Amino acid sequence: MKEQGIGYGSINHPVDRDPCCGFNGIIGDSCPKCGRSEEEGPHFQRIRRITGYLVGDMSKWNDAKTTEEHDRVKHSMDLE
């Protein structure tokens, strides 16, 4: 990054947790372990970085921060 003149950068790893069944991983609309959706119980805990801080409950974010997270480019790797 230094050679490219980038002063700050970070790699963010989304980590979600279902507080009901304990699944840790990436959760979309429903938990891959138990099939539960957020409408059926407590919110999933979604660890994300926003303005430099790791935050575990996106439900408290304002609209601008929620939009920023939604608009981020998400990359994936095929390790096979």
30, β-bridge pairs: 37
How do residues 7-22 score in pLDDT, each as one tens digit? 877 777 778 999 999 9
Neighbour-count burial for 40-68, b at 16+ CB within 10 Å, e otherwise: eeeebbbbbebeeeeeeebeeeeeeeeee
- Summarize the confidence of residues 48-58 as an average pLDDT: 69
pLDDT grade for 80, boundaries at 50, 70 and 90: low
Single-letter amino acid, residue 5: G
Could you tell me the pTM of the whole model? 0.57
